[in-house]
Each structure stands twice: as structure tokens, then as C-alpha cells.
Homo-oligomer: A and B are copies of this chain.
């Protein structure tokens, strides 16, 4: 196969460009098969990206990829074809746009809905500096549900600048796109009501062009040239339809299942337990409802949606709305379970405070992908949730030791009448656990010793057990506690334990996490407290297990700490 180069674009005939598209598809498919990553979304935009690179002049012109999970063809066509096989691996090419990686990446993305705001900022800076280049925001229809897009649309006229929005309409976010905005787009595509809807976009200061076939190079090239011309006079919305997974039979048929692909065999997942337990609980407890922001499958809620379609709400990529909706359902007596990735809950931070905890309402946040989450990198690590949730009054924060304990916490939650956050990583194992009581830790090993380890969450408890075992082999006894509630803390147990040396282990940033909470309670008692977790830096992409060892609590360092404490007696 020929090397993919940007130079191959210049002067190439349409049929040569089509060949280039096939090369790009093959390269993406081959790499994602090995490295994992976003498959269907990238396969869908190959022709569009090739056409953009032909018509526009990157990196002089700037393109912002909303969410960013469709940037692989762009990476292959800019300066990263040689390194592309390292995709998503530690030190390799990121699966998302990264300014630090290439000047072709104008703006880092990862969370949905930021591209138009970012394009407006870049375009306005261009105007203020008296420069002249084109700014493009490539946005999927799934992101068009997100409130940020409307906030940006609203300020389009105000900003008095020019951007090209390309609406990449494949009818999907990760799950099929849902909601009223989708209806508008569908009508546009059917040609049922073009005039009214086109006028809608004009109100916001956009010239509407569409609908065009986004997987057809021959028609795309002149359309993009036309959009580029129009862009000199004002902002343009170019509406193209693409097929998610285009060019790969299985992806085309199952674009939701091939949105993100993980290589290798998967272990057990907490999400599976979530679905099973919620379905089981909801059979007898009619108050239980489930809420998700476009992540039904990844969060394990599919069985619930099938069993209780009237009590299951996928509101699209709308994390804030999902949070307020949950609060209001709870205000009227329902028991909402809002499942969400740790990193995406950041989007609903204000609503967790203002709507859920401010009113002390029984919403249970099921926070998946907590701790280091892996190959998606900086924008997807879930290492801040303990820190940002800890200061919120009324909130109980639970951290299960294993999948079985997670199940027990879910059962416990139905008896609570207050907000609850349960945070857990993607993968884990079933295991032993003692009965759950809110705010009570679980003592796993209690020995005559001056050293005690408080660890929270499955990864950290596994590490604590390993340290326990290795220390024992060295003749060092210690105690190990499953610190399964960050809030309320088990102050009774903390007060009662006599150990002088306290070690905390957590799968979270050290600033504001479990270590700080325990240290706060144990202040001024002559204890020595050593905390292990993530330092004060963003954590890049790589294998989750490797990142945990490299950036998180480190086995050898903790063991060295244990030995040192033991030596001092």
C-alpha cells in the first residue's frame, strides 16, 4: 500500500482521491483493530476530510472537530501518517485533536458541543489581529442536542465574524440521535419543510447550504468550494449527510456498536451489574427510573430501557438537562438513577449542587469510568470526581470495592432519601463484601501493627492487598480498610484505630480526595499520614492499567513507605 501523504491530494483526480479514501479507510481499520478507538465515526468522514484538505489550506485555515472522535482521517492527511499506528498508546498519537501534537490541530476537543464556540473565538481573534484565514467547525448531529451549540449559535451575530459550520449528519451520536432537533434535521433531509427551517438558521446569521451527500467526493468538492466562497461574506452552515461506518459492512450495519472499539478481550464491567440490578430493583420499586445522556449501552442501561421503556430516558448529549430532569423527577417522588461517565459529570457540576444537593433530593449518580480511564486520554480520565463532589453538602459518596459491593450499594440506595454518588471504574470483578452501612468503612485486615492502609475502589484495594501480602512476606504486619464512603467518612472507625502510620490509596487526584478527607479528620493527633493517588497534572492517553501504575498510586513507593514506617516503629 502506498504511504498516505498530504501531497497526494494536490492535482489528484477524483478517482485518485477515491483511491486515497480507500487507503485511509484501510489504515484506520487496521490500526483500530489493534489499538481500539473510534471506528464508525471516522470511517464516515473520510471523503469529507479528503475534500476539506483539497479545498482548504491547513494549517493556515483552522478546523475544529466537535468531540474529536472523527479526526483520524485528518491526522492521516496532515503530518501524522507515519506515527498513526501508535494511536492511543502511551506516547503515541492521541485519538483526539491535540494542539501539542500538531499545528494542524487548532483546538483540543473530547467533550461534545464546544466546536462552534471555539470556532467563534478563533475567528474573532483572527479579525482582531487583522489576519485572514478560514475557520471551520465540524459538528455531528448528536452534538446539535447539546446546549453549548445553542449558546454559541445565539452569539453568532453578536460576534460579528465568519465561520463555516459543517453539520455532519449521520443520524447518530453514540446511540441514534434523539429529540426535537433531530426532527428538524430529518425534515430538512426529506425536503419536507426546507423554507421554514432554513429561515431558522438565517435568524442566527447563517447562510444555509444543504443537504449534500457527504460520502460522495464528486459532489462534495464543488460544494465545499462554494461554501468557501460564501464564507467571505458571512457565516455558512453546510449540512451534509454521511453514513457512520461507511465502507465497512459491519460498521454500516451496527454503527452504535462500532462507535468505539476496544481491542482484546474485555473483563467484567460494572455497567453490566448496573443494568442487572436496576432491572431487578425496578420490578418491585415503581419509583425507579433511569436517565442517561446518549450513553445507554456503554453504561449498561440497555436491559433497563428494554424492560421499562416508560421509565427510561435517554435525553441525548445533554448532561445538564439530565441532571435537572433527575432532580425534578425525585422532587415528585421518583428515584432516578443517572448513569454517566466521571468526566462528563463535570458538565453537570452546577446542577449537582444547585438542583440535586441544594434540594437534598434522592438522585443516585452512577459514575462510571472513574479513576484513570485509559486510551481516550486527558479529556476522558475520571480523576477529579471525588475532589469536586466532596465539598457539596448533603451528598453521600460511595466507592465500591468490587462489583458485588456495587450491587449491594445499589440495593442500599433505594432505602436512602438523599443524593448519592457511586463511583467505579469500567472493569472489575465480583467479590466478597460485608453488609453496607452508610458512612461505615469495612475492615479487611486488622493486625497488631502501627501501620494502617485506607484504600478506596477496586484498583486501589487490589493494590492494598498486594502490598499487604508483600509486607507480610517481609514480616511487616499492617491493617487494611476498605474506605468505601468518602462522605460521610467513618469518623468512628478513624477515631478508634490506634495506628500511628496512616496510608491512603485512591484512584483520584490527591488534591481534594480521600487522603485529604482522612487527613482532615485525623489532624493534630500525632498521626503520620501518607497519601497516594494522582499528582497535579493532566493524565495522557494509554492503557488504563499502565497509566494507573505510572501516574497513580505506585506499588513500590507505597511499599517503601510501609517499610520506612515499620523501621521507625
Contacts and interface: CB of A to CB of B under 8 A. Distances in A.
Contacts of A519: 516, 519-520, 523
A292 to B, nearest CB: 12
Interface residues of A, number: 114
B158 A313 contact: yes
A128 interface: yes
Contacts of A321: 117, 148, 151-152, 154-155
Q: How many chain copies? A: 2
Interface string A325-337: 1111111111000
Contact of A125 (B107, B153, B328): B328
Contact of A391 (B311, B328, B509): B509
A45 to B, nearest CB: 22
A149 B184 CA distance: 17
From A117, A158, A184, A286, name the one whose CB has the most chain B CB atoms within 10 angstroms: A117
Interface string A541-552: 000000000000
Contacts of A180: 153-157, 203-205
A114 interface: yes
A99 B331 contact: yes
A110 B321 CA distance: 16
Contacts of A538: 357-358, 393-394
A311 to B, nearest CB: 7
A324 B205 contact: no
A110 B354 contact: yes
Interface stretch (A27-35, A263-271, A458-466, A528-536): A528-536
A111 B378 CA distance: 29
Contact of A179 (B99, B107, B126, B158): B158
Contacts of A333: 125, 129
A359 interface: yes
Contacts of A391: 384, 387-388, 509, 511-513, 536
A154 B180 CA distance: 5
Given A313-B159, A519-B520, A320 B151 contact: yes
A195 interface: yes
Given A153-B180, A155-B321, A196-B199, A121 B332 contact: yes
Contacts of A241: none
A180 B121 CA distance: 17
A200 B106 CA distance: 34
Contact of A199 (B193, B327, B516): B193
B158 A178 contact: yes
Interface stretch (A344-352, A403-411, A420-428): A344-352
A353 interface: yes
A494 B326 CA distance: 45
Interface in A120-143: 120-122, 124-126, 128-129
A145 B204 CA distance: 12
B358 A379 contact: yes
A216 interface: no
A84 B192 CA distance: 54
Interface string A362-378: 00000000000000001
B117 A328 contact: yes
Interface string A438-473: 000000000000000000000000000000000000
Given A155-B315, A315-B155, A379-B358, A325 B108 contact: no
Nearest to A525: B528
Given A151-B320, A316-B151, A111 B350 contact: yes
A118 B184 contact: no
A71 B149 CA distance: 30
Nearest to A380: B354
B158 A353 contact: no
A384 B147 CA distance: 24
Contacts of A145: 151, 154
A122 B350 CA distance: 20
Contacts of A357: 538
A512 B519 CA distance: 12
Given A151-B145, A384-B353, A523-B519, A121 B325 contact: yes
A147 to B, nearest CB: 2
A104 to B, nearest CB: 14
A289 interface: yes
- Nearest first, the 4 closest Cβ-Cβ pairs linking A and B are A147-B147, A121-B328, A125-B332, A151-B321
22 contacts: A114-B354, A124-B325, A126-B332, A128-B286, A128-B310, A129-B333, A145-B154, A150-B181, A154-B180, A158-B315, A183-B203, A183-B204, A346-B354, A349-B350, A353-B384, A357-B538, A358-B379, A384-B391, A387-B391, A391-B512, A393-B538, A519-B519
Interface of A: 99, 106-108, 110-111, 113-114, 117-122, 124-126, 128-129, 145-159, 178-184, 187, 193, 195-197, 199-200, 203-205, 286, 289, 310-311, 313-316, 318, 320-321, 324-334, 344, 346-347, 349-351, 353-355, 357-359, 378-379, 384, 387-388, 390-394, 509-513, 515-517, 519-520, 523-524, 528-531, 536-538
